[in-house]
Amino acid sequence: MAKQKPSVPKGTRDFGPEQMAKRTYILETIKDVYKKYGFQNLETPTMENLSVLTGKYGDEGDQLLFKIVNSGDYLKKVNADDLEKGAKHMLPKISDKGLRYDLTVPFARYVVMNQGTLSFPFKRYQVQPVWRADRPQRGRYREFYQCDADVVGTDSLLCEAEILAMMGEALTNLQITDHTIKLNNRKVLTGIAEAIGENGKESELCVAIDKLDKIGVEKVKSELINERGFSTSSVARLDFLFDLNGSTRTKLGKMKEFFQGNDNFLNCSLVGSEIGLKGIKELEEVLDFAEKLGVSFKNIEFDVTLARGLSYYTGAIFEVKVNNANMGSISGGGRYDNLTGVFGLDGMSGVGFSFGVDRIYDVLEELDLYPSSAVETTKVMLTNFDDQGRDYSLPLLQKLRNAGISAELYPDNAKMKKQMNFANKKGIQYVVLAWEDEMAQNKYSLKNMTTGEQNMLSADEIVDLLKG
Amino acid sequence: MAKQKPSVPKGTRDFGPEQMAKRTYILETIKDVYKKYGFQNLETPTMENLSVLTGKYGDEGDQLLFKIVNSGDYLKKVNADDLEKGAKHMLPKISDKGLRYDLTVPFARYVVMNQGTLSFPFKRYQVQPVWRADRPQRGRYREFYQCDADVVGTDSLLCEAEILAMMGEALTNLQITDHTIKLNNRKVLTGIAEAIGENGKESELCVAIDKLDKIGVEKVKSELINERGFSTSSVARLDFLFDLNGSTRTKLGKMKEFFQGNDNFLNCSLVGSEIGLKGIKELEEVLDFAEKLGVSFKNIEFDVTLARGLSYYTGAIFEVKVNNANMGSISGGGRYDNLTGVFGLDGMSGVGFSFGVDRIYDVLEELDLYPSSAVETTKVMLTNFDDQGRDYSLPLLQKLRNAGISAELYPDNAKMKKQMNFANKKGIQYVVLAWEDEMAQNKYSLKNMTTGEQNMLSADEIVDLLKG
């Protein structure tokens, strides 16, 4: 066999030591917050039955599922006719499993399978990779981590308030202080369609509004009129929303008037909306809870145009952006009323959110926010110039480790320069050297690789110094 | 669509909160040891190109690889002829990726792809799941975690000694104190074949000897004679090995005589073996290093019949058993001379080992060795009987979390019994209660769920008590 030049599949990545250290720092920071708020860890299998996955992510999602060839004679159910009927027809005959596409559907499956033994409300977090056969491009991978937290089995709005607290706390702990947590409610979007006289058309409204950031107000309005069948007068009533300003509480007050059909401040008539008012009430209650929890409102903003994931969410909607980085949303979520209905368990309301690990990684790179402790490797390397020095250093090596200090001895006799390069490249902060002088005094020279400072110390002194 | 009763693919598992807490405890304990010895974390993609995986695990391994159906029109290279030629012929036309089968081949691929930037010796650890389409049975899964540590780019025997230290330290930290680390060397096995006059037949010898535990000495001997073409007189010379006893150092001394062809103590003549002597010398050097590192020899045993993974290992061989549990080996490893040769990079010697996470999990269950901290969930739950009590408790909730204490408030107004059951089932140790009395005194009642003790305390007193 010819020697191959190996590679990884497109859209997938190796994570080497430095990347892993940074990724671990991000994930541990987020997990610590999840745990502090009472969430418990869940892991589900990489493979799911296609009967579980198919039909949950729309037609496009079904296309993007990675499917596993059945084990053994995978062609046993296939004949020439099947082949002629084509790939799509034949697929169910050769594959009954696929790779996890997100963490939500497996979570729903888990809840349904374990409904008899779980205690509700059930708070779970899950940090695992997912796979999508998307066309890879900058920032979009075929394998990437999701990092979800959900509460199911309660419709208490306290959960939404805690999500605001958790988002803020995780980002603050990651030093991403200049962020905005945008908040809306699906009922507000439903109410808007109703209030402007386009009852039942919130889906079309949201698809258009979702593009606001990209195409601007005028194009959104013309799309609504020309492509989505909204009347000119209905769309005129939206101006109020695009111009909404003031604090979050102020904006909520204005929206309340809007939904009450109070059009004193508008040039057009409104029909009002009960469900819109309910959405505003829910948002106010979430903020009241958040206030009692001591959550700072500095970074929280009610955004009436926030419309993500509409088909799925029924209450609160969240999205987080970093203000001083060139990046889309790094976190999002919302409330859903019927997570498990598709698996036969109705009435399981829940609310959840997720952090985008790859995006947070890039933001921390861009803003240079990784603490030095995040990328710490071996703390101290013991050099190895000859067998005598090596053997003299072995007891110190284990003494350091017994004190909990990460330490290694260069395993081969080698030249100074080679070993110093090795230590530098691995980011090791201290190096221990021992020649005749040191041995005669039962000491070691400790060199700080950052400052260049070098001192002759006893083993115990070195341990004490590096522990501190 | 009819409601489905969902399930997971056979041989795969969900890990719920308690299992995840225990698994995390095991993995973190092992990782802490790896890090302390200077190993760095690596993660490779779940999917690898089949060109990387195929041919690395033998014919059986190739069969057991999970293959991914190509994206898009996966049949575009297939015609009716291909179908007729059968599943094995058609597979390469519909699939070019498979799931990771172990962590070693992806590691070798990574080293080759990054040889220009890595500093050698490169110490990496890797903790990720692998997949094998094996027939599932008790203790054998289709998805399971491996937990590897390897050093490549050095043939220093210090690495072997450090592996002995790491195995012992990890198991001690997991409270698995009654274990045996078995040690052998491939060269010793080669030497035995030579010394008994069956030069070059160490593979056959090892396959038979590997069954010693299961079938006993007599059956091993008759297999060698009747099935593997060994002469009766050669096999008679093996009796010495089966009877080898004494301390590890003593046994090594006897083996040295064996390989020197000194047959004073045998009833049969020996031809001696240079390579066997080299193997013994390596083992002695490993033990010398281990001694200087302060490794206890209490749990270390030279076992001349240890023969695992022969086709792969060229030097030291390790295997760990728990003496007081009903379980096969929980760890193993060895030295290999040419990890990366198959990818075109020769001369990369290395040594590595792995812990079997699933088996360690079962051992800790069987011996009841999980510390209570390993399964700790939320530390304290605040009850919620009515809106007034709930709102009164919210500031305490956040105060607890700000102090780093994992806390949650039951999100709905509910009866005492329901909330206490919830706290019990989740394993929460403390519960906070607040009625009129407590509120009047600006205090809370804190109940210890283990002892039943209940005290009225201020918010600060509760934080102090739970922090301690």
Provide the shortest C-alpha distance from residue B284 to chain A (in Å): 15
Closest partner CB to A8 (pick from B12, B45, B381): B45
Output the furthest CA–CA distance in chain B (Å, rounded): 95
Mean pLDDT by groups of 10 residues along chain A of 468 residues: 77 97 97 97 98 92 96 91 91 96 96 95 98 90 97 97 98 97 96 92 88 90 94 90 91 93 63 93 98 94 85 91 92 92 91 96 96 92 97 96 97 97 96 96 97 97 95
Question: pTM of the predicted model, to two decimals?
Answer: 0.95
Q: Which of A75, A89, A105, A421 to mutate to test the interface with B (most CBs of B within 10 A)?
A: A75
Closest Cβ–Cβ partner in A9, A121, A407 for B45: A9
- What is residue B269's predicted lDDT score, i.e. its pLDDT? 62
* Chain B environment of A293 (Cβ under 8 Å): 394-395, 397-398
Q: pLDDT by residue (tens digit) across A422-466?
A: 999 999 999 999 999 999 999 999 999 999 999 999 999 999 999
Contact A45/B151, CB-based, under 8 Å? no
pLDDT given for residue B232 in this prediction: 93
- Tens digit of pLDDT for each residue in B225-263? 999 999 998 999 898 888 899 999 999 999 999 999 876
Mean pLDDT over B332-351 rounds to 92
Q: Looking at residue A207, what is its pLDDT?
A: 87
Give the Cα separation of A426 and A359 in Å (integer).
26
Q: Taking the CA of residue A109 as centre, how many other CA atoms within 13 Å lie in the half-sphere pointing to its CB?
A: 27
Do residues A99 and A46 touch, judged by C-beta distance below 8 A? yes
- pLDDT given for residue B297 in this prediction: 93
Q: Could A41 and B20 be called an inter-chain contact, meaning their C-beta atoms sit closer than 8 Å? A: yes
Closest CB from B8, B45, B112 relative to A143: B45
* Shortest alpha-carbon distance between residue B106 and chain A (Å): 9
Residues of A in contact with B159 (CB under 8 A): 411
pLDDT in tens, B64-120: 999 999 998 999 999 889 988 999 999 999 999 999 999 999 999 999 999 999 999
Looking at beta carbons, which residues of chain B come within 8 Å of A165?
398
Query: Measured on CA atoms in the order B337, B340, B343, B344, is the torsion positive or negative?
Result: negative
User: Which residue, among A43, A15, A286, A288, has the nearest Cα to A163 in the 3D structure?
Assistant: A286
Give the neighbor-by-neighbor strand order of the sheet with A454-457. Answer: A407-409, A380-382, A430-433, A444-448, A454-457
**pLDDT of B1 above 50:** no
Residue B266 has pLDDT above 60, yes or no: no
Distance in angstroms (rounded) separating the CA atoms of residues B111 and B350: 12
In the prediction, which pLDDT does A262 show? 72
Residue type, A185: N
Distance CA A444, CA A460 (A): 10
A83, A143, A169: residue with CB nearest B80: A83
Q: What number of C-beta contacts closer than 8 Å exist between A and B? A: 280
Which residue among A47, A76, A154 places its CB closest to the CB of B9? A47
Nearest CA in chain B to A41: B17
Contacts B73 to A, Cβ<8 Å: 87
Q: Which carries the bigger pLDDT value, residue A332 or residue B2?
A: A332
pLDDT tens by residue, A269-322: 677 899 999 999 999 999 999 999 999 999 999 999 898 766 779 999 999 999
* Nearest-CA distance A466 → chain B (Å): 13
Tell me the shortest Cα–Cα distance from B66 to chain A, in angstroms: 7
The shortest C-alpha distance from B329 to chain A (Å) reads 25
* A78 neighbors A93 (Cβ within 8 angstroms): yes
Sheet containing A300-302: order of strands: A40-41, A122-131, A143-152, A350-355, A331-336, A316-322, A179-185, A300-302
Contact A1 B412 (CB under 8 A): no
CB A100 within 8 A of CB A148: no
Q: Looking at CA atoms only, how far is residue A219 from chain B in angstroms?
A: 34
List Cβ neighbours of A284 (8 Å cut-off, separation of 6 or more).
A252
pLDDT recorded at residue B311: 72
Average pLDDT over every residue of B412-440: 96
